[in-house]
Structure 1
Amino acid sequence: MSGLIRQIFNTRMLVSLLMGFACGLPLLLTISLLQAWMRQEGVDLATIGLMALVGLPYTLKFLWAPLLDRYTLPFLGRRRGWMLVAQLCLMAAIVGLGFTQPAQQPTMVALVALLVTFFSATQDILVDAYRREDLSDEELGLGSSLYVNGYRVGMLLASGGGMILADHISFTMVYMVMAGTMLLGVFTTLLCHEPPHPGGTPRTLKEAVVEPFVEYFQRSGALGLLAFVLLYKIGDSMASTMTTPFYLDLGFSKTEIGAVVKLFGFWATIAGGLLGGIIILKQGIRRCLWIFGVLQALSTAGFAVLAGLGHHLTGLAAVIAFENLTSGMGTAAFLAFMASLTDRRFTATQYALLSSLIGVPRVLASAPTGWMAQVMGWQGFFVFCTLAAIPGLVLLLRYAPLRDPAGPK
C-alpha cells in the first residue's frame, strides 16, 4: 500500500498534472473566449466561424515535431529548453491577442491567434514527449490521467473563468490574467528535471524526419496498431457529438443540462481519469484497455436506455455519471498505450503524429451523426455507436491480448 501511495504522490506525477494545466489553458483562448469577445464587438458570424481555422496547428503539429527531436538548445536540456521557449512565446502571443481589436482588425486577430495556437501546439508536443520519457511504462497510465485532469482544469479556467471575468473587466485584461497564469507552466519547466535519453537522439535532420516513420512501419502489425489507435474511441466520439441536441429533444432544460451534464459531468470525468490511472498502476495498460473499452461501450448504450426513459432527471444523472467516469478511464488507458508505442529517440514526432491522427476519425465519423440520428432515431443511433466500439475491441485480441505477457504493457 505504501508503495502505491509513493507512486501516486511523487514529483513526476505533480509535474504531469501542472503541465496538463499549462497545455489546457491556451486551447479555449482562441475558441470560446475569443468568439465571445468578437461577438460582443459586433463581428459577423461568418468571420467568427472562419476563426476555427486558427486551430490547424493542433492537427499539423507533427510537421515541425522532428525539429524538436533533432535539435537541443544550449540550456535546460533537450525537452526543457524548448518547453521554456515555447511557453514564453505563448505568453507573449496571448498578451498580443489581448491588445488586438476584433471589430477593426479581424485579420490581425486571426494572425495573432494563429501564433497562440502554434506555440500552444508546440508546447503540447514537448510536454507529451517529456511525459513519455520521464515516466516508466507502469507510471504512464496515472501520469496520463493526471495530465488530462490538469488539461481539463486549464480549459475550465480559460472558458468558464474567462467568461466570468469578462463580465467585470475588459477582455484585454482577461487575456493579461490568462497570460500571467501561464507562469505556473514556466516555473514547472524551470524546477523539474530533464528526463534521461538512453536511446540517443537523431544525428541529422533527415534522420529526425524519416526514421520515426521507418521505425514505426517496420514493426510487425504496424498498420493494425494504427487502425486500433483510430478506432478505439470512435463510438464514444460519435455519441458525444450529438448529446446536446439529444438532451434538448428529450425535454431537458438548459439549466438541467448545465447543472447535470456540464458541472456534475466534469467532476465525474476528473474522478474517472484519476481512478483509471490508479487502476492502471495495479492492472497494467493492456488489461485496462479491455476493461475500460467494454465499460465505454456500455456507457454509450446507456444513452439508448435514456432515450427510452425520456425526460428523467435521475436517469440523466446516472447515465452522465457512468459515461463520464468510464470516458475518463478509457482516455487515461488510451493515452498511456499510445505513449508506450513511441520510440524514445523520436518521442516528439511519433506521439505528435499519433495524436494528430486520432482527430481524423473523430471529425470524419462525427460529420454524418446528425443525419444518422435523424434516420435511425435516438435509440437506434446510440445502439449503432455502441456497436461501433466492437472493431477496436476486436483489434485488442491481437495487439493487447490479456494473456500474452509479451504484448504492450
Structure 2
Amino acid sequence: MRKKFKTFRWISSTYYAEGLPYSLVQQVSVQFFTYAGASLQVIGLLSFFGLPWNLKLFWSPLIDLFADKKRWLVVMEIVLGGVAALLIWPAQHLNLDLAAKIFMLMAFLSATHDMSVDGYYIQTLSPSDQAAFSGLRVAAYRVAMLVGNGVLVIIAGWISWIACFLTAAAMIWGLAAFHQRALPPSPPSTSHKGRHWHAAREAFTTYMQQPGILWALAFILLFRAGDAMMAAMVTPFLSHLGYGLVARGILTGTVGTVTTIGGALLGGIIISRWGLRHALLPLTLIQSLAIPAYAWLAWVTPSVWWVGVTVAFEQAAAGLGTAVLMVFLMQRCQGDYQATHFAIGSALMSVAATVVGGFSGFLAAQVGFVEFFLLAFAAALPSLWLALRMPAVLFTDRQESMSGSDPM
C-alpha cells in the first residue's frame, strides 16, 4: 500500500509538472493575447507554439542517450521556472512580440521536459501499470491545466498578469525541488552501452516496423484534428460572447478542466475493463459529437448556464478521448527505446493540432463561428472511420494486457 501511494504521488506530481508549462504555452498565451486585443488570425497562429511538440522526436534520442530521466526532468523544471518568470517583462506593457518569443522558448523546453517525464513513466512502470495509471496521469495533467487556464487566468483578471506569471514560476520551481528530493531514482537503462548515435536510427526503425503502423500513424495524426481546430477558437469565441478573463477562467479553466479530469478517469476505467480495442470507437465517437455543441452556442447565444453545460460536456468528452489516445500511444512503445517511441507518437499527435489550429483564426474570421465549428466537426470524421476500421493486429497480446487493471 505504501509503495502504491508513492507511485500515485510521483505520477501525480510529474504529470502536473508536465501539464503546467503546456498550459502556459497553449492556453494562458491565448488568454494573454486575447486580453491584449489580438486579432483572430493572430490568435490562431499561436497554435504554432505547438511546433516543438511536433519536432521533439528529432532530439528525443538525447533523452535516452544522455543522463537519466530524473535528472532531465528536474533540470528542465528549474529552467522552465526561470522562463516563466521572464514573462513579467512583456506583461508590464502587453508587449506581444517579446511575449511570443518567450512562449516559444518555453515551448521547446516544455517539449523536452515532456519526453523526460514520459520516458521516466514508461521506464519505471510495467505495461499493465502503465495502462492502469493512464487515467491518473491524464487527470494530473488536466489539474495542471485547471490551474493554468483557471487559477492563473483568474489571478491575472483579479490582480495582474505579472502576479500570474510569478505564481507560475514559483510553482514550477517548487515542483523541481520536490522531485529532486522525492522522486525515485531512474531505473538503469538496458541499452545504448556505447551511447552511439546509431541508437537513434534504430529507435525510429523499430517504431516504423511495428505491425499495422500505417493505420496507427494515420489515427495518431487525425484523432485530434477536429477537437484541436475547435479548441483554438474557444477563447476568442467566449470573448466574442462577452466573457472576460475571470469568467473565461471559471468556464474553461475550472468547470471545463474539472469535467475533463472526470472524463479522463472514466476513460481509464472503461479502457481497463473493456480493453482498448472495444473502447476505441465509442469513446472516439463521443469526443467527435461534442464539437457541434459549440456551433449550437454560436447559433443561439444562450445564457451563461448553457455555456457552462456545453463547455463541461465538450471537455468531459475530450478527457475520454485523451485517455484513449494516451493508451494507444503507450502501446506503440516497445523494447529499449520506449521514451523515443512515445516521443514519436506524441509529436505526431500534435501535428494536426498545430496545423489546423494555426489556420483556424483565418477560417473563423472568414466564415463566422457557426460554420467554423461545423467544419471542425467535419475534420473529426476521418478519425471515426479509422477507429471503425482499425486492424486487429494493433490490439493483440501485449496490447490487450496493458488494459487489464483498474486505474489507481
The two structures have a TM-score, normalised by structure 1, of: 0.76
1:86 matched to which residue of 2? Answer: 76
Separation of aligned partners in 1, 2:32 and 2:248: 24
1:120 matched to which residue of 2? Answer: 110
> 1:156–1:380: structure 2 CA closer, same or farther, 3 Å change rule?
closer
1:27 matched to which residue of 2? Answer: 22
> 1:199–1:246: structure 2 CA closer, same or farther, 3 Å change rule?
same
Letter paired with 1:254: Y
Q: 1:244-293 deviations in whole A, cap 9, x for unaligned?
A: 687799xx663887765654332211111122223333333333323312
Letter paired with 2:64: D
Moved more, 300-309 or 285-294: 300-309
8 Å CA contact 1:239, 1:385 repeated in 2: no
Moved more, 201-210 or 120-129: 201-210
User: SS at 1:388's partner residue?
Assistant: helix
CA RMSD of aligned residues (A): 4.4
Alignment counterpart, residue 262 of structure 2, candidates 271, 275, 278 = 271
Q: 1:350-388 deviations in whole A, cap 9, x for unaligned?
A: 222221211222344454664896699579647635633
Q: In the alignment, does 2:323 pair up with 1:328?
A: no
Letter paired with 1:122: T
1:15 matched to which residue of 2? Answer: 10
Q: Where in structure 2 are the equivalents of 1:304-343 lying within 5 Å?
A: 311=302, 319-343=310-334
Moved more, 326-335 or 27-36: 27-36
Alignment counterpart, residue 227 of structure 2, candidates 215, 224, 236 = 236
Separation of aligned partners in 2, 1:233 and 1:38: 24
Separation of aligned partners in 2, 1:365 and 1:30: 17
1:254 matched to which residue of 2? Answer: 243
Separation of aligned partners in 1, 2:25 and 2:264: 26
Separation of aligned partners in 2, 1:241 and 1:51: 9
Q: In the alignment, does 2:65 pair up with 1:65?
A: no
> 1:234–1:192: structure 2 CA closer, same or farther, 3 Å change rule?
same
Q: 1:44-74 deviations in whole A, cap 9, x for unaligned?
A: 989x8788766543332222221111112xx
8 Å CA contact 1:236, 1:389 repeated in 2: no
Moved more, 307-316 or 385-394: 307-316
Q: 1:97-137 deviations in whole A, cap 9, x for unaligned?
A: 44678659987766655443332222111001111222332
Q: In the alignment, does 2:191 pair up with 1:205?
A: no
8 Å CA contact 1:146, 1:274 repeated in 2: yes
1:147 matched to which residue of 2? Answer: 137
1:214 matched to which residue of 2? Answer: 205
> 1:171–1:306: structure 2 CA closer, same or farther, 3 Å change rule?
closer
Q: 1:137-176 deviations in whole A, cap 9, x for unaligned?
A: 2333453332333223323333443344446766555444
8 Å CA contact 2:151, 2:253 repeated in 1: no
Q: Which has the higher contact order (CA 8 A, sep 6+)?
A: 2
Instruction: Determine which structure has more spread, i.e. the larger CA radius of gyration.
Output: 1
Separation of aligned partners in 1, 2:65 and 2:23: 30
Letter paired with 1:275: L
8 Å CA contact 2:81, 2:170 repeated in 1: yes
Letter paired with 2:167: V
Moved more, 353-362 or 385-394: 385-394
8 Å CA contact 1:98, 1:172 repeated in 2: yes
Unaligned runs of 5+ in 2: 403-408
Separation of aligned partners in 2, 1:39 and 1:254: 11
Alignment counterpart, residue 386 of structure 2, candidates 384, 392, 398 = 392
Give the Å deviation of 1:94.
3.0
Separation of aligned partners in 2, 1:96 and 1:248: 27
Letter paired with 2:385: P
> 1:157–1:292: structure 2 CA closer, same or farther, 3 Å change rule?
same
Letter paired with 2:141: Y
8 Å CA contact 2:23, 2:145 repeated in 1: yes
> 1:269–1:81: structure 2 CA closer, same or farther, 3 Å change rule?
same
Separation of aligned partners in 2, 1:166 and 1:317: 21
Give the Å deviation of 1:189.
4.3
Moved more, 143-152 or 374-383: 374-383
Separation of aligned partners in 1, 2:373 and 2:53: 34
Taking only the aligned residue pairs, the percentage that are identical comes to 26
> 1:282–1:165: structure 2 CA closer, same or farther, 3 Å change rule?
same
User: SS at 2:342's partner residue?
Assistant: helix
Separation of aligned partners in 2, 1:112 and 1:348: 27
User: SS at 1:69's partner residue?
Assistant: helix
Q: Where in structure 2 are the equivalents of 1:130-145 lying within 5 Å?
A: 130-145=120-135
Q: 1:25-45 deviations in whole A, cap 9, x for unaligned?
A: 2234456656777899x9998
Q: In the alignment, does 2:345 pair up with 1:351?
A: no
> 1:388–1:36: structure 2 CA closer, same or farther, 3 Å change rule?
closer
Letter paired with 1:162: L
